[in-house]
Chains A and B, each alone.
Chain A
Amino acid sequence: MSIASTDTPREVAPPVPREPLLCAPALALFLVMLLTPLIMTLVLSFNSFDFYEGIGSTFSLANYTEVLGDRYFYEIFGRTFAIALATTAICAIIGAPASYFLNRMDPFWRSIMVLIVLGPLLISVVVRTLGWAILLGNRGVINTALMNIGLIERPLKMMYTSGGIVLALVHVMIPFMVLAVWAALQRQDPATEAAAESLGAGPFTVFRRIVLPQAMPGVLSGSLIVFALSASAFATPAILGGRRVKVVATSVHDEFMNTLNWPLGAAMAMILVAAILITMIAWSRLVEDRVGRAYA
């Protein structure tokens, strides 16, 4: 290098753009690990299935018309999105104020609180969900305790309900919301709160008019992550919902593993991917319209 640089270059080679080259390993991984299975699933979803002959490599939209024409599937998709929506809303309502307090804490307590918030992510999803099953079951900790105090006579039904799934999903999704909102709050100039106060705003007005609008980009991006992860969650609904409360992810699993109707499962998976994508794109469009102008 040093020898070459002292020479007068006779012929200057055009600089090779290095960025694509540097991206290549990540790109290769992305192609192999994500895009390939996705395309294979897409192809599979157009194939036919017969109990006696198995998967036939035909091309038809039969699987899609089956899913889109059956009320049974509507119910499953509806439930999936209702659970994801409820999880997102609850995460936002709990997560936004939590991040606000987190942001105002002194650094020592803040680092402890961040650890607590991140806690659920440090535990395996199966272990964590089984923990919820122990709490929520008919003979679980909560029902036993309530019955022993005498508040209720018969156990409250919490296992195998959508509510139970939402509860457990909120538990694991809240860190994504808190971190997203916290990042937005950190970008905010703390003097804006003092400025609003000096102009006559009380603490509640300061939060509603100054802090919350500036935290909104964080709430909205956090919502995107939480919604997408909740809508496609598998382990939590599988354990807490069982056979009775099915969501799309568990139904796809059933098609693949029990009915062995892979093409139908693939079609459901593709519809889920498309539905989540459309929701997310529509959501971010809305976000850009509402807050994009100020932050452009």
Chain B
Amino acid sequence: MAFLELDRLTKRFGMITAVDTLSFSVDRGSFVSLLGPSGCGKTTTLQMIAGFEDVTSGRIMLNGRNLSAVPARERGLGIVFQTYALFLHMTVAENVAFGLEMRKIDKPERARRVKAALELVHLSHLADRYPRAMSGGQRQRVALARALVIEPELLLLDEPLSNLDAKLREEMQLELRRIQREAGVTTLLVTHDQSEAMALSDRVVVMEKGRLQQEADPFEVYDRPKTSFVSGFLGKSNSLRAEMGRDGRLRCAERVLTGPAAGLMPGAVEIALRPERIEVVDAASGIVSGCVTEKVFLGNQWLLRVATPLGDMIVLRRNAGRNEAGIGDTVGLTWNPEHLRILPAEGAA
């Protein structure tokens, strides 16, 4: 039985439909990411779950109760805002204690729980500091402690890492996951960062233009995208226009390609192929050959752009300690046909 369940949730602002019949569910104790580009309706969805936006139609069920008629302050959810929204006139301990005070929890108990929450986020030594005197990562932890101390049924995270620099962000990703596991709290993360969503979550819900694109675990979303949008949004992908013939053959730029067994309706399709699944071989022995037009060194890998008869393709090669083919060289490209993903052509979905 799903713990949080969104049932055909819809939000309209005038003529604009921000969230369109969105349904998905979150299991108790799991970490789910709501992923999509800005303007896809993910933040509106979060706002509706939190109770800051009214629902146009549809239902939000949490642990068997319908949240629709419950005001935000009675929902008892823990929310971490993008800007952290710390109370700057209160110390860290006072910030964390605020939710407990509102629940009229007596002082000794309050102090005990504040202490435990600050220990969880490793901030016990800064309890008497003011937020202004803290770094971005520390403020983030205060916001987490303040949200978790009320022992919420559901923790909502609104782009919590977007204000941190790259290195700190990676660190906080691990921290976030540890804290979530230790607290055992059901968590919904809203993010536009696909690597963050994949690194943190048990399941990923991909949204675009207010609609659900795919809901699956991170590996499946990455490896078996259902739509060309998902394939392009998560990581790098080569996207080739092709035609599925009535004879079941896949034609791309007047060549017949061997694809995976799974059949699709005849018509225009799109082939998605991850750049790291492509091998570079001799010009003669590849499935296609082409000329290297661009070469970028990324440290742990090389990125090559190869002009082939099928179209421009990008290839990622692991840095194996030797130099790869240079610009102007003709190379052959090959891949395991099982790695091709045949998707409905964009616009037909």
Contact A195 B150 (CB under 8 A): no
Tell me which of B77, B78, B85, B150 contacts A192 (CB under 8 A): B85
The digit string for B85-121, where 1 denotes a CB below 8 A from any CB of A, is 1111110000000110011000000000000000000
Whole-angstrom CA separation of A199 from B156 in the bound complex: 13
Q: A189-B83, A194-B81 are in contact. Are A199 and B132 (CB under 8 A)?
A: no
Do A192 and B73 contact each other (CB < 8 Å), given the known contacts A205-B102, A295-B132?
no
* CB of B229 within 8 Å of the partner chain: no
| Complex contact B99–A200 (CB within 8 A) | yes
Q: How far is the CA of A202 from the CA of B82 in the complex (A)?
A: 22
- CB distance A195 to B89 under 8 Å? no
Q: Report B-chain residues with C-beta under 8 Å of the C-beta of A189.
A: 83, 85
Interchain residue pairs A-B with the least CB separation, the first 5: A200-B102, A199-B99, A191-B85, A195-B85, A213-B89
Residues of chain A within 8 A (CB-CB) of B103 are 200
Assembly CA distance A195 to B132 (angstroms): 17
A8 at the interface (CB under 8 A from B): no
Q: Which residues, 94 to 151 on A, are CB-close (under 8 Å) to B?
A: none
A214 CA / B87 CA spacing, docked (Å): 8
Chain A interface category by residue count: 20 to 34
Q: Is A66 an interface residue (CB 8 A)?
A: no
- Determine if A200 and B146 form an interchain contact, defined as CB atoms under 8 angstroms apart: no
Assess whether B50 is interfacial by the CB under 8 Å rule: yes
A201 and B89 contact, CB distance less than 8 A: no
A-B contact pairs, 10 of them (CB 8 A): A191-B82, A192-B85, A194-B52, A197-B72, A198-B51, A198-B73, A198-B79, A201-B102, A210-B87, A293-B130
How many of B's residues come within 8 Å of A, CB to CB? Answer: 29
Interface check A235, CB cutoff 8 A: no
**Minimum C-beta distance from B184 to chain A (A):** 20
A210 (CB) vs chain B CBs: closest residue: B87
- In angstroms, Cα B248 to Cα A245, docked, is 102
Is A296 part of the contact surface with B, judged by Cβ < 8 Å?
yes
A200 touches B81 (CB 8 A): no
Q: Is B344 an interface residue (CB 8 A)?
A: no
CA distance in complex: A196, B74 (Å) = 12
A291 within 8 A of partner (CB):
yes
Q: Please, what's the 1-or-0 string for A179-217, where 1 marks a CB less than 8 Å from any CB in chain B?
A: 000000000010110111111111001000110011010
Query: 12 extra interchain contacts, Cβ-Cβ under 8 A, other than A195-B79, A197-B72?
Result: A191-B85, A192-B85, A194-B85, A196-B87, A199-B102, A200-B74, A200-B99, A201-B98, A209-B98, A213-B89, A214-B88, A291-B89
B75: CB under 8 A from chain A?
A: yes
Query: Separation in Å of the A226 CB from the closest CB of chain B?
Result: 23
Q: Please determine whether B52 and A192 come into contact, CB atoms closer than 8 angstroms.
A: no
- Asked whether A24 is an interface residue with its Cβ less than 8 Å from the other chain, the reply is no
Known: A195-B81, A199-B99. A295 touches B88 (CB 8 A): yes
- When distances are taken between beta carbons in the complex, the residues of chain A under 8 Å from B99 are 199-200
B76 within 8 A of A: yes
CB of B116, distance to nearest CB on chain A (Å)? 17
Q: How far apart sit A291 and B132, CA to CA, in the bound complex (Å)?
A: 13
Knowing A293-B130, A294-B132, A296-B132, the reply to whether A200 touches B85 (Cβ < 8 A) is no
Measured between beta carbons, the chain A residues less than 8 angstroms from B82 are 191
In whole Å, how far is A85's beta carbon from the nearest beta carbon of chain B? Answer: 25
Nearest-Cβ distance from residue B1 to partner chain A, whole angstroms? 25
Most chain B CB neighbours (cut-off 10 Å) among A199, A205, A214, A296: A199
**CA of A213 to CA of B77, assembled, Å:** 25
**Are A198's CB and B132's CB within 8 A?**
no
The smallest C-beta distance from A251 to any residue of chain B, in angstroms, reads 42
Residue of B nearest to A198 (CB): B79
Please, which residues of chain A bring their CB within 8 A of the CB of B150? 199-200
Q: Taking the nearest CB of chain A, how far is it from the CB of B129, in angstroms? A: 10
Residue from A198, A209, A291, A295 with most neighbouring chain B CB atoms (10 Å):
A198
Tell me, rounded to whole Å, the shortest Cβ–Cβ distance linking A172 to chain B.
31
Assembled-state Cα–Cα distance A191/B43 (Å): 14
**How far apart sit A296 and B88, CA to CA, in the bound complex (Å)?**
11
**Do A294 and B88 touch across chains, with their CB atoms under 8 A apart?**
yes
**How far does the Cβ of B100 sit from chain A's closest Cβ, in whole Å?**
9
Given contacts A189-B85, A213-B89, contact A200 B73 (CB under 8 A): yes
Tell me which of B72, B76, B82, B85 has the highest count of chain A C-beta atoms within 10 A of its own C-beta: B85
Among A197, A200, A205: residue with most chain B CB under 10 A: A200
Instruction: Render B171-183 as a binary contact track against A, CB cut-off 8 A, 1 for contact.
Output: 0000000000000
